[in-house]
A and B are shown apart, each in its own frame.
Chain A
Amino acid sequence: GQNIDQPTEMTATEGAIVQINCTYQTSGFNGLFWYQQHAGEAPTFLSYNVLDGLEEKGRFSSFLSRSKGYSYLLLKELQMKDSASYLCAVRLYNQGGKLIFGQGTELSVKP
């Protein structure tokens, strides 16, 4: 079966850096996505990794190690508006582009 794990909750302080980890055990890996979801809203795309290494996009970076089945999302200079759920999702190879999601990490940013 497919399995994606991420912490349920995290708390961090405004202005700080936080790292949200995601481990996966899937067959036919073809890319890993990170989405941000505010309560009651649609998920919005943050990042995509298909090769090993770090992808940087402003205050957000995402890292992938395919051999370890591991990814992390790094958020710098945290702002209150970053309080949200962060979803890790894996695309499986040759399965119509569908994504398998982890349960999400609820991040609370405190002043």
Chain B
Amino acid sequence: DGGITQSPKYLFRKEGQNVTLSCEQNLNHDAMYWYRQDPGQGLRLIYYSQIVNDFQKGDIAEGYSVSREKKESFPLTVTSAQKNPTAFYLCASSISKGDTGELFFGEGSRLTVL
């Protein structure tokens, strides 16, 4: 079945360590997105990519990095520069890089910094 796979589902990290969250989709979607969700808050956009080898910063990109080397993959690295990384991270994709189509979400990755 087609869908978006995020891994790991749960991740624990020590302060000062970088960690990479995986996001893979087999929907043949052009656009991919990373959102962060904190308790009681809406989803906030970290980075998005409309096409391979290109990506743009969202509203809260500081302390994060991404790559888009393949259409199917959009990994997110949470660096040690991110001051408050404990959160629920959601990856999403959309059929078009334009202004049509809803976002399809992965199951999420919950990151806890110890």
Contacts and interface: CB of A to CB of B under 8 A. Distances in A.
Interface in A11-65: 30-31, 33, 40-45, 48
B50 A103 contact: no
Interface stretch (B14-22, B35-43, B66-74): B35-43
Interface residues of B, number: 30
B31 A43 contact: no
A101 interface: yes
B104 A45 contact: yes
A78 interface: no
Contacts of A4: 42
Contacts of A40: 88, 108, 110
Contacts of B33: 98
A100 B43 CA distance: 8
Contact of A97 (B40, B41, B44, B99): B99
Interface in B39-89: 40-45, 48, 50, 56, 58, 88
Contact of A98 (B41, B58, B107): B58
Interface of B: 31, 33, 35, 40-45, 48, 50, 56, 58, 88, 90, 94, 96-108, 110
Interface of A: 4, 8, 30-31, 33, 40-45, 48, 87, 89, 91, 93-94, 96-104
15 contacts: A42-B108, A43-B43, A43-B105, A45-B102, A45-B103, A45-B104, A93-B99, A96-B97, A97-B97, A97-B99, A97-B103, A99-B45, A101-B43, A103-B40, A104-B41
